[in-house]
Amino acid sequence: MTDVQVQDLTPEQKPIKGGRLKSFVDDRETLKGKRFIFTVAQNNTKLHDEFWATLTRMAKKRKAKLYVSQCTYNKKGWQRITRDSLTVDGTHDTEGLWYDARIEPHVLNEQVKVAEGLLFCGELDILPTAVLPLSGLSNYSGPHSAIVPHVKMQMESLATMKHQDAKFMYTTGAVTMRNYINRRAGQIAEYHHVYGAIYVEVDKDGRWFARQLNADENGVVFDLERVWGPTWDAPAKEFGRPVITLGDVHYEKRSASAMFGAVHMIDRLNPETVFLHDLIDFKYRNHHNIKDPHFLFSQAARGEESVKHAVEQTAEWLFGLAKRFPKTKFVVVKSNHDEALDRWLKDVSAASDPHNALYWHELNTVVLAGLKYGNTIDPLEFAIECEWGGNADNVQFLRADQSYVINGIEYGMHGHYGPNGARGSAKNFRQLGVRVCHGHTHSAGIIDGIYTAGVLGDLDMGYNKGPSSWSHSHILTYSNGKRTIITQQSNGDWRA
């Protein structure tokens, strides 16, 4: 074959060339600053004007940098055009893709380092109709937590080595309006579309704190103690008091720093209601280790065998908290570790436990007397109120399957019981069709309106082995029903 010059070839004859030798990770830049707001804009879609005004105003007043990634949605069948081949021109050309010109100074379609251990994956262009946008990304960011641009608001906790901080994956929510094909995938995506962003603040030691900014239809955003609108901002207390779902308490295995930080959070945010899950751990006769002779010996060697003492300690903390915050209602949700006390009372072998036999008989006498006269007595509620010497007007114990709804959100489930006898999980709670705040897994998360809290107790309970996704994370629900997850650092700090 005769040699030819490249310029003599037709476009169809020219070889395709491309690719890169190094990964984009090698070119990753580090953002400058201490405060950031991340969101995403969909192609050929108008901005939510009020929400955009709120974000830009919030960014200016807080001196935060606002970044917007672009995502593409093939609404009219474009086959070969992507966001990377476009410029932001602000036109409404129906023959191509466009983005609102206002986002141009804020566009970030690259992967960057936000802070130590946190990335923004602006290079990801995930279809807005993706049901689980974080699927397949568990190791995409390596050991780092990551913020992924997507119109849904989801969050996952991922395991790391046991004594390292858990890794989190966040999606952002969108700054553009709902704009989908009127078919199944598009209709589902429209239902789950969130006007939202992720706010990140970094403290003087480089530790970062990420929170969801979840806007209402008017573009109004709550963030901790302040409410932000398109042209105004005001103290959140002027709009009502929030609700806090603390991570599972496990009082006997409490983390002193996490407990201190959580109490400080309650003090600052002044919630109307605080929900408590796994109030006790039942450490001294823990159902995880009750048949382990080595565990029982170690408990005895440390003098940690009294169930009554555990109840006394928990009662003192609970009612002390209620006394300190008399205008806050504390609701104890029936949980699996609380039920360990119930199971222990039904275990006849416990009657021969020399350290706890008397207490076992005392509680069983009350429970059986109640059954005799048709009254079901909750052992934990009775035991704690007895140790305290009564009850408090602002403390309530929920029974199993007792619903507790505020602003259309169900708070009465711990999370260990799932539908139709299955094990509980955030994914199978979606079928309930209602928003839920629950605990149990110790791994914080968000999926389709189901929010999962972490744990307030120690991240090493003794019985949890191997890599862990546990974190000291709590759910904050604002007075308008919008929610965010607050995660504490190892020293108990919950904000920068």
Residue 93 has pLDDT above 70, yes or no: no
In sequence order, which residues have a C-beta less than 8 Å from that of residue 34 and are 6 or more positions away?
201, 202, 203, 496
Q: Tokens 């893709």 map to which residue? A: 97
Residue 2 has pLDDT above 80, yes or no: no
CA distance 58 to 64: 8
Residue 117 has pLDDT above 80, yes or no: yes
Tokens representing 183 are 């078919």
Q: 99 with 43: CB under 8 angstroms?
A: yes
The CATH class, in words, for 243-487 is alpha beta
Bigger pLDDT: 345 vs 96: 345
CA distance 384 to 11: 81
Structure confidence at residue 102 (pLDDT): 96
Residue 77 has pLDDT above 70, yes or no: no
Torsion of CA 99, 100, 104, 106, to 10 degrees: -100
pLDDT digits (tens, 9 = 90+) for 152-171: 999 999 999 988 899 999 99
| Average of per-residue pLDDT across 343-370 | 91
**Phi–psi pair at 468, nearest 5 degrees:** -135, 145
Residue 60 has pLDDT above 60, yes or no: yes
Structure confidence at residue 294 (pLDDT): 77
CA distance 488 to 474: 8
CA distance 64 to 3: 59
Structure confidence at residue 389 (pLDDT): 76
Tokens representing 295 are 């565990």
pLDDT digits (tens, 9 = 90+) for 380-419: 999 999 988 777 899 999 999 999 999 999 999 999 999 9
The rounded mean pLDDT for the chain is 90
Label residue 97 by pLDDT band (50, 70, 90): confident
Bigger pLDDT: 90 vs 260: 260
Structure confidence at residue 92 (pLDDT): 43
CA distance 235 to 478: 12
CA distance 164 to 109: 30
Whole-number Cα distances in Å, 233 to 61, 150, 214, 230, 427: 10, 26, 15, 8, 36
Query: For the chain, what percent of residues have pLDDT higher than 70?
Result: 90
- Spell out the domain ranges in the chain: 24-238, 243-487
CA distance 266 to 312: 23
Whole-number Cα distances in Å, 165 to 98, 117, 157, 255, 469: 40, 10, 10, 15, 8
